[in-house]
Amino acid sequence: ESMNTVLTQEVIRFNNMLRVVNSTLKNLIKAVKGIVAMSGELDAIGTALFNNAVPGSWASKAYPSLKPLAPWLIDLEMRLEFVNKWINDGHPNCYWISGFFFPPAFLTGALQNYARKNQYAIDRVSFQHVFRDDITKDSAEKPDDGVIIYGMFMEACRWDYETHLLADPNPKELFSDAPLVWLKPIYERQPADPTTIYEAPLYKTLVRAGTLSTTGHSTNFVLMLEVPTDKPQAFWIKRASALFCALKY
């Protein structure tokens, strides 16, 4: 089960980050009490906490995020709850894509499961994106193949639950919730008709930019989602329509 490896890697990443947060907070408390000297790093951490900002030493060990400190801590708690529930209750029926420290490993794990199950070469397996607006994260059932993801946000577009297509956003609506998406692995999948879909980028944050990490993956870009639409791709490209895992608040 490739997802067990994915979960183990997620736990290691979160533990490394929490170890830094825990040790720096303990040292900061000692410095405030005068037990140890107040270093430049501890002073910077204290200033960031006072200003409701995430300290740089924490952010360097964490996942990309634009949130100020208070929402960042709430988001961290939700991520840890997601991972703990996965550990205690087993693999969920659907996955909170926004809760992953490193989403590319999760996506590769889903492809590996399908490839091993059917003895296919993994480089010939790719995802078909099925938008499931008929279910919620609570009513979703685990698919035989692939994974169902939720927790994404749409900007400069919205999902129309009546036409089951991408639509213009409502007035004064900057972001909207995206429906659940079934990432269905297909062997030697034929390309989708470009006139019926919009290839929408999915980013971790609203920055829409990132750098290549040592693994060759972007630090911000996750994947291109093929969203059903009755409008040409240029229509959505001009609007800079995209999906995101997390917002600024």
Domain with CATH 3.10.490.20 in the chain: 92-244
Average pLDDT over residues 43-61: 97
Which residue shows structure tokens 């996750």? 222
Q: Give the H or E element holding residue 50.
A: helix 40-50
Helix ranges, 51-201 (H): 56-59, 69-89, 103-118
The pLDDT tens digits for 102-151 are 999 999 999 999 999 999 999 999 999 999 999 999 999 999 999 999 99
For the ranges 39-53, 120-134, 151-165, 207-221, the lowest mean pLDDT is seen at 207-221
pLDDT at 151: 97
| Fold that domain 92-244 belongs to in CATH | Hypothetical upf0131 protein ytfp (3.10.490)
In angstroms, the Cα distances linking 248 to 159, 219, 243 are 21, 17, 14
pLDDT at 210: 85
The pLDDT tens digits for 70-92 are 999 999 999 999 999 999 999 99
The pLDDT tens digits for 93-103 are 999 999 999 99
pTM of the model: 0.93
Token couple for 238: 């001009």
User: Residue 61: pLDDT above 80?
Assistant: yes
In angstroms, the Cα distances linking 11 to 5, 75, 84, 125, 223 are 10, 16, 9, 27, 23
Q: Which of 95, 127, 102, 63 is nearest to 222 (CA)?
A: 102
